[in-house]
Amino acid sequence: MQNPTPRRKFHLIYLVLDVSTSMRQADRQLESPFERFQLLMPDLVLRMREHIQVRTTCWLSVIAFASQATTVLPATSLREIPLVPPLPEPGQTNYAAALTLLRDRIAADQDTVKASVRPMVDDDASVIVRPLVFFVTDGFPFHGKAVQNRAEWLPVRNELAAPNGSAHIAALGLEGAEEGVLADLATGDGDLVNGFIADGTVASGSLAANVNSAILDSVQRSAQLGTMMIKTPTGMRRVARR
């Protein structure tokens, strides 16, 4: 009789942050979403680690994008407290660059995770490394002198979401984001898509804090359940599948 091979699930968590110029515009409380994210990032990381499942099975990476995309924090095990460096300078909103970097990083980071957990598992085949992507933006794709059309970034997104990429993507749109873009970007289950857009009831600085809380909650739930779970952040509504 053959013994079943235990499956071990690990998660690569990607925070993909839009740091374009518009993210730095202060709201009526004189605080910009960029400032709030930068302020809350270290705390978000610390609080993620307070969930034992997250601490032992998750790697965190932070990617920032404006005119270009940059890996701010390479994939780092949450067994250690990572240092999140400052976010880069502002620019435009280059979705194609962000998604391309994300695709490249996921492929490399999955190998890194497998290598680091190899001593703990029977064989690599038993290891599942699932990327959970939190894509935070406040605008529509724009680069150079024109809006980026879907043909530039949607194929890359589809590669990520394909079964072999297996990334779960939650798209969180602050004030200024476009609902259709978020719906295309996010993955989901049937008609329930993990795209959320500001409903205009909360100032953008506070909304950034609410998004942070939703990400924290989602990471903790998802690490436990093995699939992406995210609740609608306060001050947002779920977008409809196109």
The residue ranges that bind another protein (CB under 8 A) are 30-31, 38-47, 49-52, 55, 80-84, 86, 206, 209-210, 212-213, 216, 234
138, two tokens: 């406040």
Strands (E), 117-206: 127-137, 142-143, 146-147, 168-173, 188-189, 192-193, 195-198
> What's the closest the beta carbon of residue 22 comes to another protein, in angstroms?
19
Amino acid letter at 117? V
Provide the 10 A C-beta neighbour count for residue 180. 14
Residue number, 52 or 162, with CB nearest to another protein: 52
CB count, 10 Å around CB of 3?
Answer: 6
Give the burial class of 152: count Cβ atoms within 10 A of its Cβ; 0-12 exposed, 13-18 middle, 19 or more buried.
middle
CB of 46 to another protein, least distance (A): 4
Residue 65 CB, nearest approach to another protein (Å) = 18
Ranges of H-type helices in the chain: 33-49, 52-57, 95-117, 150-161, 179-185, 204-225
Give min distance, CB of 40 to another protein, in A. Answer: 6
Q: Which CB sits closer to another protein, 78 or 133?
A: 78
Q: In terms of CB distance, is 55 or 114 closer to another protein? A: 55
Least distance from another protein to the Cβ atom of residue 135, Å: 18
The answer to whether residues 194 and 186 touch, using CB atoms and an 8 Å cutoff, is: yes
Residue 21 or 38 having the CB closest to another protein: 38
Among residues 8 and 47, whose Cβ is nearest to another protein? 47
